Chains A and B, each alone.
With several copies, the nearest count.
Chain A
Amino acid sequence: MMESMTASPVARRTGDPEITSHLVTEHGLTPEEYELILEILGREPTFTELGVFSAMWSEHCGYKNSRPLLATLPTKSDAVVQGPGENAGVIDVGEGWGVAFKIESHNHPSAIEPYQGAATGSGGILRDVFTMGARPIAIFDSLHFGSLDSPRSRYLFDGVVRGVGDYGNCVGVPTVGGEAIFDPAYEKNPLINVMCIGVLPLEQLIRGKAEGVGNPVMAVGARTGRDGIHGATFASEELDEEGNDSRPQVQVGDPFTEKLLLEASLELIEKDLLVGIQDMGAAGLTSSGTEMAARSGSGIDIDVSLLPVREQGMTPYEMLLSESQERMLLVAKPEHEEAVREVLERWDLQAATIGNVTDDGMFRVREAGEVVVEIPVIPLVDECPTYVREGVEAPEVLELRTRDLSEYRDFTSNKELLDTLKTLLDSPSIASKRWIYEQYDTTVQTNTLEGPGSDAAVLQLPTDGCALAVSTDGNGRFTYLNPRTGGQVAVVEAARNVACSGARPIAVTNCLNFGNPLRPEVYHQLSEAVAGMGEACRSLNTPVTGGNVSLYNETGGEPVYPTPVIGMVGLLTNLEHRVPSSFQHAGDEIWVVGVTREEIGATEYLAAVHGLVAGEPPVVDLNEAKQLVDFLVTAAENSIVRSAHDCSDGGLAVALSECAIGGKDGPTGFDVALDEAPSSVVSAAALWFGESQSRVVLTCTDGDGSALLQLAEKHGVRAARVGTVGGAGEDCQITGASYLIQIAADKLATIYESALPRRMTEQAGLTS
């Protein structure tokens, strides 16, 4: 079809270095990959072209090591309108409306400059969503940090929270949920994953395409500076010990310009003035230009001397690879170019036409007319070499997983048990996240029906009476000890959280945070976790609509826990059926649904109380997980449950405490006998603090229990009444495995609420 795909000769630009094998290595390309480049071009690349290949064939853009694994994930269902491959995935939520959503990591930038790293991460994911034509309605942040006992971790955590907050707050998108996990494994390499959700009329859906020969290509937004050059390559390398040697220029976020871009983009899309639009994210102009061309099988011809720049004397290499924030690439219809300019001007935004769409399949870049890059688009974008590697489980993990845990299964006294519960409620990973989310605007846009603090956030949709329920989840410790289980748990826990609110889980986005995939033990984690994720998604019919891969999360050879994070989106078709997480009324019956097994491996209990990361994580029965979700959704539809709370970190004792602490009229007492809960024979530790999957704490009105039980049986899930909700300010009493504890609800609340503020009081926003 296309006659000639080989690139024409391109003269070496004065001032550019010669291509040496050293330079090739420095660009993160192997000799074999370089051979392939020679083959594609039919000649030696120029320095600028080498930079382009290096960025596009980095892990971040090219998914070298993950693409074959990702290809195994389910991506289709009746609800999916746009699967992976676009700026964001899109699902159909009825009445002509769609929901666009995606998650992205900004781990490495945040490890160096936490405030700006997190801010620019939020900016990027917002652009991914509004470039689909969707108005962002919510942000979620999944955070993993080292122990808060470390000043460095506190500094990073504080900076990231302020960065996420300030950016979203300024743009006017509420941050309504997320997670925050603290473990020494993340000390030097924290994980900052941000998810954005947007809504759009489906007829307005627009894709990142460069179609129509001759159509103008426009660069819009902030001017291009030297910041973040080689960010994409950098994100694909390990941090050095100091975290600074290969430090690129730090990028600074400008949420004000982002807000203008958001409004202007949506106006342009609404007025149907565009052919395609894409964020200039990782690898900047290079990736946006080439990916847009690749999606429509076209070519693109741009002149970088037309690009508005912030600094003098920038080379084509720098302009192509700059990751300056708040920029976008638009392709317009020629007859609309003027109208596009008018809209942008109204929003005080700069726009420059820097080239046009061609049909020769080439990514051609000029500098003042002189060609400096000519690369066939398809091989550059779609034919990045991929690798399927051999994975091997690390022997030390095997040893840890099979460790004998019998000495941790019992307690010596009621007091020890109560102290254990207190320690868990005070553990930053479990404790209240209020300190975080009160720094976020959670109510702007007036769609927040349920903000942070519940199992899932619930947001009103423009459709009649519908709402969206969203949760992000992941468990690095589980994944470390058993990656397949970890992949499954991320999905089933997120689904459970969504279903607890009464919504049916629909689809997921995922962020894979792993170490260096060239290590067989890391590759093993990655491939197993993806396999587990895929199995769970298939079982729950919640396909993957997109996501992000962040590899090389390690410092000095120490990888973080392999951490797949799932962002699950569910649909609530009737607002009346919404279910809160916490206890509602004194006298309500308390039920436990799902089976408690002899599972204390990999728990927060072992980690927080015994400093031990060991054992087999709880087994996921995918069938059970699916039945539980169906049961929860039906129970909500039938208005049988008054509250539903997922049982996860810290087990039943913590789940019950959380229901009490969040009580509708303040901390609420209760009386529960854990021995009544459905269980296979278990030890005290497993009964109180084990993290068996597919369990939920429910309440119903006194007397509705039989209906609840009937429904549970119908869905094949086991349920038992374990106690009664007490009054506000009363005592919480739990018995189980011959132990008994009793403590005022207010006391539990104080422990739970003060854990983060107590550790963070010293840290304040001094440097911004």
Chain B
Amino acid sequence: MTENYLADVQITPRAGILDPVGETIASALGNLGYEDVRSVRAGRLIRLEIAAETAQDAQTAVESMCEELIANPIIEDYLVTVRDVEK
């Protein structure tokens, strides 16, 4: 029996890779008066709904998708978190 899971993939620029989007947001926030912002990193969020037998299976499947397609390890880090679809 498979169930549906929601997997969030958080993709962020690898340390050492420039993040112009994050930097621009940081400076724009500064200009708007948000002076307590220490740093900003900008990344992508890919949310998948996936059928799998267990949460662990879903996790494994999505990690393999990341390796293959969703993330580019040369420039990006990624983190997969899986949860049940709320009914």
Contact = CB atoms under 8 A, between A and B. Distances in A.
A334 B4 CA distance: 42
Given A766-B25, A766-B69, A767-B72, A227 B20 contact: no
Nearest to B13: A252
A38 interface: no
Interface string B12-28: 01001111110011011
Interface string A202-222: 000000000000000000001
Contact of A113 (B19, B27, B70, B74): B74
Contacts of A254: 18, 20
A324 interface: yes
A480 to B, nearest CB: 31
Contact of A222 (B16, B18, B28): B18
B71 interface: yes
A252 B74 contact: no
Interface in B1-38: 13, 16-21, 24-25, 27-28, 31
Contact of A249 (B17, B25, B31): B17
B16 A225 contact: yes
A227 B18 CA distance: 8
B48 interface: no
Nearest to B27: A348
B24 A310 contact: no
B79 interface: no
Contact of B18 (A113, A324, A766): A324
A311 B25 CA distance: 19
B16 A764 contact: no
Contact of B16 (A116, A256, A311): A311
B71 A767 contact: yes
Interface string A738-768: 0000000000000000000000001010110
Contacts of B61: none
Given A227-B16, A249-B17, A254-B20, A766 B70 contact: yes
A764 B19 contact: no
A225 B19 CA distance: 11
A250 B74 contact: yes
Contact of B20 (A113, A249, A256, A311): A256
Contacts of B72: 113, 767
A703 B59 CA distance: 75
Tier of interface size on chain A: 20 to 34
B28 A764 contact: yes
Interface string A243-274: 00001011110101100000000000000000
A766 B21 contact: yes
Given A113-B75, A762-B28, A767-B71, A310 B21 contact: no
Contacts of A767: 70-72, 76
B24 A251 contact: no
A113 B20 CA distance: 17
A29 to B, nearest CB: 27
A696 B69 CA distance: 46
B46 to A, nearest CB: 9
Given A116-B75, A252-B75, A764-B24, A310 B70 contact: no
Contacts of B71: 767
Interface in A95-143: 112-113, 116
A112 B72 CA distance: 11
A247 B17 CA distance: 13
A325 interface: yes
B16 A249 contact: yes
A257 B27 CA distance: 13
Interface in A302-331: 310-311, 324-325
A226 interface: yes
Interface string B46-69: 000000000000000000000001
A622 B34 CA distance: 58
Contacts of A252: 13, 17-20, 75
Contact of B24 (A225, A249, A256, A324): A256
A321 to B, nearest CB: 15
Given A112-B74, A250-B17, A252-B19, 20 more contacts: A116-B75, A225-B18, A227-B17, A247-B74, A249-B16, A249-B17, A250-B75, A251-B18, A252-B17, A252-B18, A252-B20, A254-B20, A256-B20, A256-B24, A257-B20, A324-B18, A764-B24, A766-B21, A766-B24, A766-B28
5 contacts: A227-B17, A247-B74, A249-B16, A250-B17, A764-B24
Q: Which 9 A-B pairs have the closest CB atoms?
A: A254-B20, A252-B18, A767-B72, A764-B24, A113-B74, A250-B75, A226-B16, A766-B25, A250-B74
